[in-house]
Amino acid sequence: MAMTGEEEILALLGKIVAQWNYAEHCSRQIVRKRLPADGHIDDEANISVSKKPAKWIEDQLRDEVLPRWQSAPGEAHLKALIEAFAAAREYRNYYVHGVWATAGTNPAQAVIIPSKPHDNKTQSPGFATAADIRPVATHLEELGAFACDVNNAFDNDGKRTTNPDGSLAVEPLPSLPSPLEPFPYAPLVTW
C-alpha cells in the first residue's frame, strides 16, 4: 500500500526527529570526552551533559573542544561538524516545533506555525511539502553518520584514534559535509 502525501510528510518529520537525536547524541559524546568522569552512564557529569539542549552542545563544541583541537588532524572535521550542526538545528526547530497539521491538498502540505521566535519576533505561518522536508531529513541522516565518525576518529585533543593493534579507528576519514543553506526564515509578524 502506497503512502499518502500526508503520511509521507509525517514519516519525514519522524525521520528528522530520529536522525537529529542521533547527530545530537554523537556530538554529545565528543563533548563528554573532556569530562573528568569515569565514563559510566550514571556518572553525575554524564547525566548533566545529557540534560543540556542542542545549542549548549554546539557552544561547547565551538568554545571548549575546538580550541584544544587547533592544528590537530581533527580540527577541520570538528569545524565542519559545528557549522553543519548549527544550520541543521535551525531547520530541525522549524519543522519539529512548527508543524501543527497536514492538509491533503495536491501535493499534501504541512501547516507550519513557528513556535520559536526569530530576532525576538514571531514568524508568519507557512506551508511545506514532502519535497521541501526530504532534503533536511536526508541531510540529518548524513550529519549523524559524520558526527559518529568524528567522535570515533579523533581523541580528546583532535588526534587520530587508534585500535589496540595500532591501526586507525576510522579509515578513511569521512568527507566534510556541506551545511544546509542558512535557514530561510518566514517573514516576521509585526503587530
d(CA 51, CA 28): 10
pLDDT band at 38 (very low <50, low <70, confident <90, very high): low
Please give the model's pTM, rounded to 2 decimal places: 0.87
**CA-based radius of gyration for the chain:** 19
In a domain, residue 27? The reply is yes
User: Would residue 115 count as lying in a domain?
Assistant: yes
pLDDT in tens, 125-177: 888 899 999 999 999 999 999 999 999 999 999 999 999 999 999 999 989 88
User: Does any domain span residue 51?
Assistant: yes
Whether 61 is in a domain gets the answer: yes
Judge whether 74 lies within some domain: yes
Q: Is 54 contained in some domain? A: yes
CA distance 75 to 98: 34
Structurally, how many domains does the chain consist of? 1
Length reported for the chain: 191
CB atoms inside a 10 Å sphere around CB 6: 18
All three cell numbers of 175, joined, read: 568527507
Residues whose CB falls within 8 Å of the CB of residue 121, separated by 6 or more in sequence, listed in order: 188, 189, 190
* Partners of 168 in the β-ladder: 162
Any domain includes 79: yes
Q: Is residue 89 part of a domain?
A: yes
Backbone angles phi, psi at 152, to 5 degrees: -80, -30
**pLDDT at res. 166:** 94
Q: Which range among 6-15, 43-52, 80-89, 165-174 shows the weakest confidence by mean pLDDT? A: 43-52
Q: Are 78 and 174 in contact (CB under 8 A)?
A: no
Q: What is the dihedral of CA 75, 76, 82, 85, to 10 degrees?
A: -140
Q: Is residue 187 over pLDDT 60? A: no
What residues make up the domain containing 106? 5-153
